[in-house]
Amino acid sequence: MPFAEIDDQSLHYIDQGSGFPVLLGHSYLWDSGMWAPQIEVLSQRYRVIAPDLWGHGRSGRLPAGTDGLSGLARQALALLDTLGIKRFALVGHSIGGMWGAELALHAPDRVASLVLMNTHLGPEPAASRAQYTALMNQIEAIGALPPPMLDVIVPLYFRPGLDPASPLPAGLRRSLAGLSAEHLRESVIPIGRIIFGRPDGRERLRGLDPERTLLICGAQDLARPPAETAEMAGLIGCPTYVTVPEAGHVSGLENPGFVNRTLVAELERQLAAG
């Protein structure tokens, strides 16, 4: 598994397949393994680069001085520069979409196609921001995610009614329960504060190219409801957006077949157009 030194920290990434590069940015509290169904399909046609967010998966801690979402975008570009990749497609999920939009606004000539999944560039709504801030403060204080907190956090990622003992939620629960106090305090909580304390970036969305941007959301996403995706599509000027049936926040895992077909079709369309 390859690593790159970015801002004096070790960034782990998957590099699979060959062809036009596709950068995948995963969700908060997951890692690059979240993209396994997509990597399996996309790597048959493209070179897929999927980094682990700082403090997630096998990556090192969040580098000191990281400047919010723009800093995460700059670090992703630094990885691609290290790999000698100039132009690429970008698929960003949740926080991956937040820094992905920042990257596309900063370096539009390098992003051939932008897919934003289950994400929102507006400020976190006051109620959920207060809830998440309280949770992060408690987690930071105790240095762990005890069962009552997991009971709150894990269901946010999945469609309502999904059996909590089924593989996806059970796997996430085990992963989160295993996070060390060091990981939580040095990376996971600071990144959470970047996400939930983000500024209102909606007006900046008008700077994205609607012809090169596709928005996707889970039809039953509790964390980032479809109304947020509809709002962003209108601001960007996208004629439509894609709703993933039978899926919550991690739509690429809950309905991988639908998401894979959507991504393959979009990449083919965009790259054929040049």
Q: Is the pLDDT of residue 241 over 90?
A: yes
Q: Is the pLDDT of residue 273 over 80?
A: no
pLDDT in tens, 168-190: 999 999 999 999 999 999 999 99
Tell me, yes or no, if the pTM score tops 0.95: yes
What mean pLDDT is predicted for residues 209-231? 97
Whole-angstrom CA distances from 183 to 13, 59, 135, 146, 176 are 18, 10, 16, 15, 11
69: Cβ contacts below 8 Å, ≥ 6 apart: 95, 98, 99, 102, 194, 198, 201
Q: Is the pLDDT of residue 121 over 70?
A: yes
pLDDT in tens, 4-58: 999 999 999 999 999 999 999 999 999 999 999 999 999 999 999 999 999 999 9
Return the closest-CA partner of residue 87 out of 19, 139, 147, 35: 19
Token pair recorded at residue 19: 């062809």
Strand 47-51 with 9-16, pairing: antiparallel
Report the pLDDT value the prediction gives residue 271, as an integer from 0 to 100.
84
**Residue 274 pLDDT class (50, 70, 90 cuts):** low
Whole-angstrom CA distances from 13 to 16, 55, 73, 224 are 10, 13, 15, 26
Q: Residue 35: which CATH number?
A: 3.40.50.1820
Report the pLDDT value the prediction gives residue 201, as an integer from 0 to 100.
96
Q: What percent of the chain has pLDDT over 90?
A: 97
**Residue 272 pLDDT class (50, 70, 90 cuts):** confident
Report the pLDDT value the prediction gives residue 102, as an integer from 0 to 100.
97
Secondary structure letter of residue 53 according to DSSP: P
Q: Is the pLDDT of residue 270 over 90?
A: no
What does pLDDT average to over the chain? 96
Domain span at residue 88 reads 3-273
Task: Measure the CA–CA gap between 162 and 32, rounded to whole angstroms.
Answer: 23
pLDDT in tens, 134-176: 999 999 999 999 999 999 999 999 999 999 999 999 999 999 9
- Cβ–Cβ < 8 Å for 101, 207: no
Token pair recorded at residue 271: 């790259």
Please tell me the total count of domains within the chain.
1
